[in-house]
Structure 1
Amino acid sequence: MFTRHHGVWPKELPKTMTLPKTSVFTNLAVAALRYPDHPAIIFYDRVMTYRQLLEEVEALAGYLQEKGVRKGDRVLLYMQNSPQYVIGYYAILRADAAVIPVNPMNRAAELEHYISDTDARICLAGQELAGFIAPLVGSTHLEEVVVAAYNSYIDPDTDLSLPAEVAAPVPKLEVPGLVGWDEVIGAGYVPGPHTAGPDDIAVIPYSSGTTGAPKGCTHVHRGVMATACHRAFWNLSTADTVQLSTLPFFHVTGMTGSMNSPIYSGSTSVIMTRWDRTTAAKLIERYKVTGWTNIVTMAVDFLSNPELGNYDISSLKTIGGGGAAMPAAIAAKLKNLTGLDYIEGYGLSETMAATHINPPDAPKAQCLGIPVFDVDSRIIDVETLQEKGPGEVGEIVSNGPQVTVGYWNRPMETEAAFVEIDGKRFFRTGDLGYYDEDGYFFMVDRVKRMINASGFKVWPSEVESLMYRHPSIHECCVISAPDPKRGETVKACIVLTPESEGKTSAEEIIAWCKEEMSAYKVPQLVEFVAELPKSPTGKVMWRALQEQEWQDQASA
């Protein structure tokens, strides 16, 4: 067991944690029993208590079971941050089914994959997204889409600036297979007994890999429970904690830090559907927000707001996140303004958020943190798998209660993702790093072909797979390119088909990509080339292209 970090372990916390042997849904049931009239959610000034939240979860769970959802079935959750997201998530768990969180930026090709890979028959979708998935009803396994209008859960008298999708009125649904959220909640169905336990599947977030198609990271209830509990204890959360929820709930960091952990504590989540730095400042002041989990780019934008001085944000007690290293100048600005350190952490979809977090009283800058409760992390040689010592760079591997039990329906990829050390199963993160003498872990590079654009992870092989659908593309290779704002951005090197040469523009390719994939995956740069460099075995030498791109930009 890696224990080097025990010297800087938070003094008020135990080094090991006994986790509840119950489902994640049970956390909501317990919170509603303990704090029935306490605010669970505040959404654009409308308060929803724990009693009200549980009532709607039960109603939706009853409907899902009435529609044939059984234990272990998968249900898509395709919407933005909202009370309905929380209700939908916990209703799926209450129905003993598994949540398939879908990125709201996903479009037709990606949605088809989720449906076919999970055999999902029902989707809970935001009204602004329903049009993208509605055509798949009947033509795939999908049978029904429950459509939620965020507007029906706000305070109509709010003075806050509303995103367009929140301001939009409740729509009339005239397409077969679509049913309104309010109709479903009001139907009065009652679910059967809740039977899911700690070893049943709870959530399957999707993470792309080097094989192209996204793959599901299977998490059972005990794994999701682990990070919910870990985060609550690490931040010393109580029922009086107020969390600003700005990270998307479909992503494991937002799911854990801004939804599951607050519900475990019985605390309050102040939910924003879309990021807006001024609205965030108003909410912090209005509701005395004490904690905020974000990504670095969000914190940078917040602190760059020239109007920030007009708001009282002194209630903040903890602020942190990840996605990229926090620039030293921004961290200093935060410290001067609030007296708080930005607490960075590290985790993956495969680990249901954090495996490492900086100790609140002794954080290190641009550092992943230390392994949290019951997490054993090591650094190993990528090729030999031999363990390395302090300061030596290798692949980060982790063993812990929150680690995925495997990739959904992919036994070979599951086997390849783990290595045995000292009789324990360690997940291979694909990230290169090292730890120092004190046991703090640091990131150096990535083993896998991942582009980090403003904290969004883009997998080139997935983008290439989608781009090959374009009739004018003969070959393509997606690489990273330096970007002053995003850190890295996506570039596509393309060989056109002979009949398309001179007739297809970069702008046309980019416009097509915007229709076919999530916005953060869309290549911002397109270069047409006569051929792609290949190895003697015929593999595209992506690294050579990428290194040349960065060298060219550096010398420009």
Structure 2
Amino acid sequence: MNLLDLFLATAVQQPGHPLIITARDEYTYGDFKLLVDGLIGKLKAQGVKPGDCIGLHYPNSPEYIGLVYAIWGCGACVTPIPVELNPQEKRQIFQHIAIDALLSKTNIIADVAAVQTGEDIIISEQTAFARCIKYLEKPAGFTRLNPAFVRFTSGTTGTSKGVVLSHETVYERIQAANDGLHLDSSDRIVWLLSMAYHFTVSIVAYLTYGCTILLAPNAFGSTIIQLAAKHKATLTYAAPLHYNLMAQDQGSQALPDLRLAIVTTAALDPAVAEAFYQRFQIPLNETYGIIEVGLPCMNLDKPREKRGSVGKLLPAYEARLHTIDQAAGLGEIQLRGKGLIDAYYEPWQERHDILQKNGGWFATGDLGEIDEEAYLHIRGRSKEVISVGGMKFFPQTVEAVLESHPAIQEACVFRYPDERLGEIPHAHVVKTPGIDELPSPKDITAFCAEHLAEHKIPAQITFVDRLLRTASGKLIRNASQLQALGNMNA
């Protein structure tokens, strides 16, 4: 199968229905079909063929979506090259994935010049095409999988790796997700996230089920609210940051048409959830999204009563907990169901080999618990657990205490090697804006001692200008990277 065919079927059914609305333009499904058809012709003229892997280096825009579908129309596979990455990080993707050619917006193609083998060719007003250096060959089983995407994941504690998703797998995922979302042509979705990181269970689903995408020109709270109100948005798909900005809005504009406010990318602060509810009388729907699995959990039925939970499993999935801490009821979350990963790219490992280690289940690396009503609660990553002399805890526990200090806006706690105890916690903290006099590390340590067991108190606390994050917004907890940042800010 090819995901392009799903879009084409929808476009035939509703050619005049709006597909995407921006601050300047509106494309109908019919308009978009013409755009994609034209791009397919231009890509084929440049020699793009079935089995090729095309890097897509483009910001959020209608063109980004059109290029993805055009690449699929050539029988090729998409590898997103997030524009948010620095040039070295972009080059790393090309060094780990065999990319045949590159599509880039013309004004940023210089950022990837180091991987080009020749002149770039302008194929549309703002789009350039270029052949790339081949650092390695594709794995032997790659083309056989009918790949649609190779996503280079964002590593938080170590190295990244590519996740291969086939057309069939993406289709299974959107079907599974729609058992919870119930998308149809009446839905209008405010879009705020990077398309390079969020596409398969979102954008593809929206175009398959005939929805309208409302592309926000910026992430200001007032802009999001005005956009949603003007176009009668029925769904928002955003990060906690965006909901926090909306909650802080001092206006009175209501959002009566909004039926779901999906939270993704990071854990939701209960204070943000409550502030958003007080402002709009709309609960936030927490979800559990994993690049290797899709969107297996959504908190749809009890978003306020079960705040802090990512909800129940959708019908297409099963979960079990592999016991880590029996006393605490914690275990590693393992999943099985529709749309699981087809392969890891490097080193090459296909689905069967990935799953057989755990008897057919995918081990997420996340730790959690399932309550008496079958709601799943995520407690942290197994790789993030800090063990001080055998006493284990999650860094998020310490971060919550640090962030309750009036002088600290946000914190990142990470493990650091220690000869005597094995590991000890260190912390990077960012000061609250407007604070003139910083508390000393000793003062903060004393504050922590009022709320935390001794082994959880950071042995070193460093004020930094910003916390180190991956391009998708996740906190980086790699000690060597963080120590370098701390030294620069010292």
Same fold (TM over 0.5): yes
Query: For residue 265 of structure 1, what is the aligned residue in structure 2?
Result: 209
Shift in Å, 1:436: 1.1
CA RMSD of aligned residues (A): 4.0
Query: For residue 204 of structure 1, what is the aligned residue in structure 2?
Result: 150
In 2, are the aligned partners of 1:394 and 1:432 still within 8 Å (CA)?
yes
Q: Does 1:96 align with 2:75?
A: yes
Shift in Å, 1:414: 7.3
Counterpart pick for 1:182 among 85, 107, 125: 125
Q: Per-residue displacement from partner, 1:324-356 (whole Å, max 9, x unpaired)? A: 33333332333334332211011222223x121
Counterpart pick for 2:258 among 279, 293, 316: 316
In 2, are the aligned partners of 1:82 and 1:272 still within 8 Å (CA)?
no
Letter matched to residue 201 of structure 2: T
Counterpart pick for 1:401 among 324, 335, 338: 338
Alignment of 1:434-513 (within 5 A): 434-449=369-384, 481-483=428-430
The 1:406–1:336 alpha-carbon spacing in structure 2 relative to 1, beyond 3 Å, is: same
Query: Which TM-score applies when normalising by structure 1?
Result: 0.65
Query: For residue 277 of structure 1, what is the aligned residue in structure 2?
Result: 221
Alignment of 1:86-485 (within 5 A): 86-138=65-117, 176-182=119-125, 200-209=146-155, 212-252=158-198, 255-257=200-202, 259-306=203-250, 308-309=251-252, 311-352=253-294, 354-360=295-301, 364-381=306-323, 392-411=329-348, 418-420=355-357, 424-449=359-384, 481-483=428-430
Shift in Å, 1:510: 9.2
Q: Distance in 1 between matches of 2:262 and 2:472?
A: 25
In 1, are the aligned partners of 2:300 and 2:311 still within 8 Å (CA)?
yes
Moved more, 517-526 or 240-249: 517-526
Q: Distance in 2 between matches of 1:125 and 1:478?
A: 42
Q: Per-residue displacement from partner, 1:43-76 (whole Å, max 9, x unpaired)? A: 1141101011111112212222222222221111
Letter matched to residue 20 of structure 2: I
SS in 1 for 2:170: helix
**Among the aligned pairs, what percent are the same residue?**
19
In 2, are the aligned partners of 1:198 and 1:221 still within 8 Å (CA)?
no
Alignment length, in residue pairs?
411
The 1:117–1:346 alpha-carbon spacing in structure 2 relative to 1, beyond 3 Å, is: same
Query: For residue 147 of structure 1, what is the aligned residue in structure 2?
Result: none
Q: Distance in 2 between matches of 1:510 and 1:178?
A: 41
The 1:373–1:483 alpha-carbon spacing in structure 2 relative to 1, beyond 3 Å, is: farther
Shift in Å, 1:205: 1.2
Q: Does 1:70 align with 2:57?
A: no
Letter matched to residue 526 of structure 1: L
Q: Distance in 2 between matches of 1:325 and 1:510?
A: 22
Counterpart pick for 1:50 among 29, 36, 39: 29
SS in 1 for 2:185: coil
In 1, are the aligned partners of 2:170 and 2:200 still within 8 Å (CA)?
no
Q: Distance in 1 between matches of 2:219 and 2:107?
A: 17
In 2, are the aligned partners of 1:379 and 1:434 still within 8 Å (CA)?
yes
Letter matched to residue 380 of structure 2: D
Counterpart pick for 1:36 among 6, 12, 15: 15
The 1:89–1:378 alpha-carbon spacing in structure 2 relative to 1, beyond 3 Å, is: same
Query: Which TM-score applies when normalising by structure 2?
Result: 0.73
The 1:324–1:110 alpha-carbon spacing in structure 2 relative to 1, beyond 3 Å, is: closer
Q: Distance in 1 between matches of 2:350 and 2:171?
A: 25
Q: Distance in 2 between matches of 1:342 and 1:294?
A: 10
Letter matched to residue 377 of structure 1: A
Letter matched to residue 295 of structure 1: A
In 1, are the aligned partners of 2:42 and 2:123 still within 8 Å (CA)?
no
Q: Distance in 2 between matches of 1:278 and 1:92?
A: 36
Q: Distance in 1 between matches of 2:266 and 2:331?
A: 19
Query: For residue 536 of structure 1, what is the aligned residue in structure 2?
Result: none
Shift in Å, 1:99: 1.0
Q: Does 1:24 align with 2:42?
A: no
SS in 2 for 1:226: helix
